[in-house]
Amino acid sequence: MTDLKAELLDVALEAAARAGVFLRDGRPADLGVAATKTSAVDVVTEMDIASEKLITDYLAERRPDDGVLGEEGASAQGTSGVEWVIDPIDGTVNYLYGRPDWSVSIAARKDGETLVGVVAAPMRGETYRAVLGGGAHVNDRPARVRVAPPFEQALVGTGFGYLESRRVHQADVVRQLVPRVRDIRRGGSAAIDLCDVALGRMDAYYERGLNPWDFAAGDLIAREAGALTGGRPGEPVSPELTIAAPPGLFQPLQNWLEELGAWHD
């Protein structure tokens, strides 16, 4: 298993690096000028699809028997038992507007367990990575969560969905949470938010409505950096709710989010 993890990490790092360079260098300079126009959105969609194809082509070259699950529709069962979970651009709105917080997220899992996670953030000049049981790193430095502060001093990250009804409820949850914590941050890339918890740049993060490709890599990186992750009480991370925080902060945050109904629309 150690050899398999090392191989998967090597493949994930190279695939994420290639996609990151493609997206960074291939982004039209004037894309943000027309950020509200359909043509600009179409360009981002094309970049998303092209990034996913670049990744899946490389995976097929290196590990042709593996399965794939991608945000832009890539899907293959595979025969090796390994499945790659890919978000070719996490934070597409940030990418559209020329903001730096977008990433390429790639995870490899086997028998339902994530073995390797890589999140490349080219505009930050950082790549976050983790191997199950092997810790988390940013570039070549170890990553570690902050020691849990008192709840009222916690800096908490979150995100909002695209559906109006969901966003309205999510905003109401934030409204009720704000007076109880230090402050709220909304970055726009779930993968980066989870990595920021791993690096101690935020104390905690939660969001409803994430898909597996949004959280697969970041969840492992946060856990390997010392965070606890989960959903509703007794439940794992899921599209219903994703929470990441260090021990001592995770439980009270989870309890508050349960009380506030953060898990439903």
- Give the pLDDT confidence of 62-93 residue by residue, as tens digits: 999 999 999 888 888 999 999 999 999 999 99
pLDDT at 37: 43
Domain that holds residue 94: 2-142
Q: Decide which of 92, 111, 142 is a domain's last residue.
A: 142
Q: Which of 113, 142, 171 is the last residue of a domain?
A: 142
Last residue of a domain, one of 142, 166, 200: 142
Residue 265 lies in a domain: no
- Using the predicted structure, report yes or no on whether residue 252 has a pLDDT greater than 70: yes
**Is 119 found in the same domain as 19?**
yes
Residue 223's nearest CA partner among 158, 164, 167, 143 is 143
Residue 37, domain CATH: 3.30.540.10
What's residue 239's pLDDT? 96
165 found inside a domain: yes
CB proximity list for 213: less than 8 A, separation 6 or greater: 69, 70, 71, 85, 86, 87, 90, 105
My answer on whether 218 and 161 are in the same domain is yes
Inter-residue contact 118 to 217 (CB < 8 Å): yes
Q: Return the minimum-mean-pLDDT range out of 31-40, 203-212, 214-223.
A: 31-40
Same-domain check for residues 121 and 174: no
Give tens-digit pLDDT for 17-56.
999 999 999 998 766 544 444 455 566 788 999 999 999 9
Average pLDDT over every residue of 182-198: 98
As for how many domains the chain has, the answer is 2
- Tell me whether residue 239 is in a domain: yes
Looking at the structure, tell me whether residues 160 and 107 fall in a common domain: no
- The confidence score (pLDDT) of residue 42 equals 66
Please list, in sequence order, all residues whose beta carbon lies within 8 angstroms of the beta carbon of residue 80, skipping any fewer than 6 positions away.
63, 65, 66, 67
Burial of 39 (0-12, 13-18, 19+ CB in 10 A): exposed
pLDDT (0 to 100) of residue 163: 87
Find the mean pLDDT for residues 189-200: 98
